[in-house]
Amino acid sequence: MFGIVLFVLKWAVLFIVLLVGLAFLFTLYLLHISKHTHRFGILAKISAITRIKFECLESLRQTYRPANIYCKCHPSNSTFIHPNPECTHRSNTIYISFAGGALLVGGFTFTEWSRTFQQLKAGGQVGIADQLFLSDPNQSFYLRNEQNGWDVANNTRNLVRRYSKIYQNVILIGASMGASMVCMCSDLANVSIAFNPFTSPVLNTSNPFQRLFLRYTIPPALHDICRIKIQSNIDFINKIKTADSEQKYDDDDETRPKILHVHWSSKSKEDYEQSMLVKGQQIQNFLDINDFENSPEMRSTSGVYFWFHDYDQHSLPRHLKSKNVLLRMLQAHLNVLNHQEKQ
């Protein structure tokens, strides 16, 4: 009997060693040989589970693209790109994009929304805004810092705060995991646009791998941090909402008008459950792009608005793009900057 047990243990150890060796070789292949776009998604999962940091991911946590092509005041990409107050090429407006959860299903986009930004008008003109793209290789909902420690104070949020101090207009946009961070930073921006945010990263999800992955990689003590901060921002923005169009605001005044628009896929069970965790919602049904553009909410300069779309998948921006309404919708959101500047 002892001999059988020893035989089984020996082969079990050999099997484990073989798996570890193959995983190691596969990782080396992804790092040094593979050119497939999905390699970043796989490496991000390995990084999140093992806490191993890969330079090819870390070096692209941030990507900065100034509107002025002659500006050399910032690195083009880096783990952290802090705003340079001495830069004389800076635009009045900056788009800040938070990479979303596509990395959970295989993809990884470092510059999400980049093509869309090129087609949007901020302040009446196309292409005049600086762009900052943020990603989270740890897939931690931006709750990990660069040392891989849990960062409840959130370096990413503090970074957005620093940008908000030197730009007249700050626009945040993101989907899925990125949308969660948009909502958590919405008190620091003029306009925030979120598509299907995860109010709670560990709420019941239809994807078993995603549910297991997030529960494993995010400590129980932080399971509610997104919901708490999102709700806090919603309450804060609604509190400072004002109907006094004659009121004046300083550029660095944290009580100036702020507006947050959250778009949900109402027919998606997962996203509907996420939306129900938010209190004090003003829910509007998105019926038609023409009605949307002419709605009172599009003339409001502050507040929080929730839009339910008749769609049953999590990938709402892709759906809206296929219907040729995404750009018009985003532009309608940005047009509020013209009204905010008059206040």
Per-residue pLDDT reduced to its tens digit, 112-143: 888 888 888 765 555 689 999 998 877 778 87
Distance CA 43, CA 151 (A): 22
Residue 35 pLDDT: 61
- Assign 222 a pLDDT band (cuts: 50, 70, 90): confident
Whole-angstrom distance, CA of residue 260 vs CA of residue 312:
23
> What's the Cα-to-Cα distance from 224 to each of 141, 193, 220, 228, 229, rounded to whole Å?
12, 22, 8, 6, 9
Three-class secondary structure assignment of 200-266? CCCCCCCCHHHHHHHHHHCCHHHCCHHHHHHHHHHHHHHHHCCCCCCCCCCCCCCCCCCEEEEEEEC
Q: How many residues does the chain have?
A: 343
pLDDT single digits (tens) 234-289: 999 988 765 444 455 554 556 668 999 999 999 998 899 889 989 878 788 998 89
In angstroms, how far is CA 168 from the centroid of its own chain?
21
Work out the average pLDDT over 18-39.
Answer: 65
DSSP bridge partners of 132: 64, 96
Tokens of 249: 């605001």
Q: How many CB atoms lie within 10 A of CB 73?
A: 16
pLDDT score recorded for residue 233: 92
Mean pLDDT of the 158-174 span: 91
Mean pLDDT of the chain: 79
Q: Is the pLDDT of residue 58 over 90?
A: no
